[in-house]
Structure 1
Amino acid sequence: MALIQPDPTFYPSARDAMRAPREELAYVALLDAAGQGRPDGLATIDLSDGSIVSVGDMPNVGDELHHFGWNVCSAALCPYAPHPHVERRYLVLPGLRSSRIYVFDVKDDPRRPRLVKTIEPETVFEKTGYSRPHTVHCGTDAIYVSALGNVDGDAPGGVFTLDHDTFEPKGRWEVDRGPQELHYDFWWHLGHDTMITSEWGTPNQIEAGPSLDLLVGRKYGHKLHVWDLTKRRHLQEIDLGDQHQMALELRPAHDPSKTHGFVNTVISVEDLSAVGCSTTSGQSGA
């Protein structure tokens, strides 16, 4: 009987990934920035010369594609939740404005991804209670998707999950969200069973563009939230200071044995600077 082996493109550390064969293709989201009624697209780039190999348009207009990701990745190597049967072959593209999610298969022809599933916004609303999917991360037990708000475009925002195999929404991730209301990005430290989330604003606060009144009123996000990844419960709130408006991207240390990570904030209302902060998993400090 053949043994089930993990996908060979999974690596236990960033160092191992950098030693691996170089990627030959890259996939890039294309937006209708001019608002001319053209669908967003997915471009395939040949990394040997930077040429555009193919462009596939979405079947709908007005999606505003955002931070898309793979169906599964090195997180599947987690000892407590191994999934050796899955392979990195599907791209999951969220539409921030439409709340629609597309799934593209790249296995048969990596140079021309093929649309195989569309999750309509009504399904996302019904099964998760969230809207405006923003970022996709492949996790240990599911595909994790951040959402900026609820169905009405207000708080709370949070995280929902998709099934690794069927891509059907499984539901809201949080069991106990504690004081968390605003949401933006998320990342985890699997070795410490910890998730960190950041804050921006609700869809109703941001979709018309940044509001000067909200900015000077210090109403955008400025906190980090620490979670028990397995129990899905809020553990700790880290306030970066309300002068640091819009705490956005989170990035972990490349060394998986380290417990620190990084977050950037868009602007300080005191001196109009932007800053980056370093924080340690599970400890209050920035």
Structure 2
Amino acid sequence: MRQTLRAGVVSALCLGIVGALAGAAHADETCNSPYVTKLIKGQEDYVYVWALGVEGLGDGSDKLVTVDANPKSRRYGKVLNSVSVGSRGEAHHMGFTDDRRFLWAGGLADSKIHVFDIGTDPARPKLVQTIGDLVDRTGYVGPHTYYALPGRMLVQALSNNRDKGGVTGMALYNNRGAFIAAYPMPTDGGGDGYGYDLAVNPKKNVLLTSSFTGFNNYTRPLGELVNDAEAMKRFGNTMVVWDLKAMKARTVLSVP
């Protein structure tokens, strides 16, 4: 079923879910999943920066950089550690596992997911795993959002390997990086099949996903893209309300 909502209603819905998640966390550290435990209360000591690699700078690879964030520290604002992943894949987003011991971070271009151990020594994370089977397992490319569920990570992709358009889905892994299942974004009932971000409200058994555009669009220079009328038509305009436990789409919302 597809429903049309005015922008203000959609914004209120998003804010309501975000507010519910923030209330569930009971901590000062920012996190978008209510399942993440051991969040830091009060002053944080470190900031983790998932940085884009640039050809000609260092080894040219994407890196996880640790910065001292405690104003009382003598190294406040200084880089404490840098971990190279040995490749350049268009670093974008990252997310904690539910136990907050590991940080998952990925690339929109190469579809690799890098897992960092931040629990053993928070000041000096270590790259412990690179997950490279997303495309082979699902046909999806461009992992965008890494969302903690109990013992698992739900990864929202942006595109697919067939035509590099916007039709895509979500991939579910366990915390050890083993693939569990794929969930395609709905293309019936008014769905456009596009994906972007996600959030959950466990009390309401709701997963909410949004939409964006595919690889062919998001890898183009912005100035070139916005002047291509046909390409600008290939953006999603839906949000989907899912049954979280069943991982089935309930309602497709049209977002003008």
* Shorter-normalised TM range: 0.7 to 0.9
Q: Structure 2 vs 1, CA of residues 238 and 50 (structure 1 numbering), >3 Å: closer, same or farther?
A: same
Shift of 1:89: 0.8
Q: Structure 2 vs 1, CA of residues 55 and 217 (structure 1 numbering), >3 Å: closer, same or farther?
A: closer
Supply the AA of the counterpart residue of 1:201.
T
CA RMSD of aligned residues (A): 2.5
Give the corresponding residue for 2:32.
Answer: none
- Aligned counterpart for 2:178 among listed residues 168, 171, 183: 168
Give the corresponding residue for 1:30.
Answer: 51
| Identical aligned residues as a percent | 26
Supply the AA of the counterpart residue of 2:81.
S
Supply the AA of the counterpart residue of 1:223.
T
Shift of 1:128: 2.0
Shift of 1:233: 1.4
Query: Following the alignment from structure 2 to structure 1, what is the Cα–Cα distance between the partners of residues 94 and 185?
Result: 25
Aligned residue pair count: 213
Give the corresponding residue for 1:45.
Answer: 67
- Aligned counterpart for 2:85 among listed residues 47, 54, 58: 58
- Aligned counterpart for 1:225 among listed residues 240, 243, 255: 240
Q: Structure 2 vs 1, CA of residues 34 and 240 (structure 1 numbering), >3 Å: closer, same or farther?
A: farther
- Counterpart contact for 2:160–2:168, Cα < 8 Å: yes
Give the corresponding residue for 2:220.
Answer: 208
Query: Following the alignment from structure 2 to structure 1, what is the Cα–Cα distance between the partners of residues 174 and 209?
Result: 21
Query: Following the alignment from structure 2 to structure 1, what is the Cα–Cα distance between the partners of residues 56 and 236?
Result: 28
Does structure 1 residue 98 correspond to structure 2 residue 110?
yes
Does structure 1 residue 154 correspond to structure 2 residue 165?
yes
Query: Following the alignment from structure 1 to structure 2, what is the Cα–Cα distance between the partners of residues 174 and 58?
Result: 29
TM-score, normalised to structure 1's length?
Answer: 0.67
Secondary structure in 1 aligned to 2:146? Answer: strand
Shift of 1:103: 0.7
- Aligned counterpart for 1:136 among listed residues 146, 157, 166: 146
Query: Following the alignment from structure 2 to structure 1, what is the Cα–Cα distance between the partners of residues 81 and 182?
Result: 35
- Counterpart contact for 1:137–1:143, Cα < 8 Å: yes
TM-score, normalised to structure 2's length?
Answer: 0.75
Unpaired stretches in structure 2, ≥5 consecutive residues: 1-20, 29-39, 71-75
Deviations 1:131-160 (A, max 9, x none): 111111111352011101122323421211
Q: Structure 2 vs 1, CA of residues 217 and 16 (structure 1 numbering), >3 Å: closer, same or farther?
A: closer
- Counterpart contact for 1:157–1:183, Cα < 8 Å: yes
- Counterpart contact for 1:180–1:225, Cα < 8 Å: no
Query: Following the alignment from structure 1 to structure 2, what is the Cα–Cα distance between the partners of residues 52 and 130?
Result: 34
Secondary structure in 1 aligned to 2:93? Answer: coil
Counterparts of 1:86-125 in structure 2, within 5 Å, are 87-120=99-132, 123-125=133-135
Secondary structure in 1 aligned to 2:228? Answer: helix
Query: Following the alignment from structure 1 to structure 2, what is the Cα–Cα distance between the partners of residues 175 and 132?
Result: 14
